[in-house]
Amino acid sequence: MSRISAVSAYGNYNNLTTSGVSQGRQAASASSGLADSFTSTGQETSRGEDRLTPAQRKIAEDIRRSGGNESRAFAFSSEKAAKRSGAVECETCSTRKYQDGSDEQVSFKSAAHISPQAAASRVRGHEQEHVANAYDKAKKDGGKVIRASVAIHTAICPECGRTYVSGGTTTTQIKYNNESNPYQQQRKGADAYDFAGINFSAQV
């Protein structure tokens, strides 16, 4: 069994959030604030700010920093909702890394980032490398692959609430001729060790 997993930076997210809230409050209290983006007069600006909840002020600041139209903040009741829609970047999704945990020569031996949009195809492609290795091993040692399956796993991002590909699992079974032979029994046992408990997945 082979798996790939993602290494998430969610542990750092709380710190980033705390810092972001602090920055948002400082920005909201600054004289230049987000006032000008809503209205052209001081009186209308005050009304616009009054309509924003504290959470929406933080969202507006995040949207402004990313170059978007901060008036979109009115559409969201929480920062999580804004991140789920993509209006505000999800730090966890943007830094999530995947790493292979097997002893095979395959991709992702070192942790590397995969965007949420590309994760499904990249993880599936990685798992196919394990399948190919099983067929190569069977051919080399006089065996036959009688089962090879790939499962793609998903999870919910704790920061934005979106579903993401958390990893994949490849399960293979090789049958050898004359398995009553002690050598073949030893070979089969070695294969069971090689293909069990190997992982490539997202670590949250």
Averaged confidence pLDDT in the chain: 76
Q: Do the beta carbons of residue 191 and residue 138 sit within 8 Å?
A: no
Q: Note the pLDDT of residue 54.
A: 87
* β partners of residue 100: 4, 200
Per-residue pLDDT reduced to its tens digit, 143-202: 999 999 999 999 999 999 999 999 999 999 999 886 665 555 555 555 554 554 455 666
Q: What are phi and psi of 165, to 5 degrees?
A: -80, 115
Q: Note the pLDDT of residue 26.
A: 37
Domains of the chain, by residue range, sit at: 2-8+94-201, 12-90
Q: Note the pLDDT of residue 117.
A: 95
- Give the span between the Cα atoms of 151 and 195, in whole angstroms: 15
Model confidence at 30: pLDDT above 70:
no
- Give the span between the Cα atoms of 148 and 128, in whole angstroms: 10
Per-residue pLDDT reduced to its tens digit, 105-144: 999 999 999 999 999 999 999 999 999 999 999 999 889 9
Residues 6+ apart with CB under 8 A from 84: 90, 160, 161, 162
Q: Note the pLDDT of residue 22.
A: 34
Model confidence at 39: pLDDT above 90:
no
Q: Average pLDDT, stretch 67-86?
A: 90
Residue type, 18: T
pTM of the model: 0.66
**Which SS3 state, helix, strand or coil, does residue 34 take?**
coil
Model confidence at 77: pLDDT above 70:
yes
Residues 6+ apart with CB under 8 A from 143: 137, 174, 175, 176, 177, 187, 191
Q: Average pLDDT, stretch 47-64?
A: 80
Residue type, 52: L
**Which SS3 state, helix, strand or coil, does residue 142 take?**
coil
Identify the residue with better confidence: 94 or 10.
94
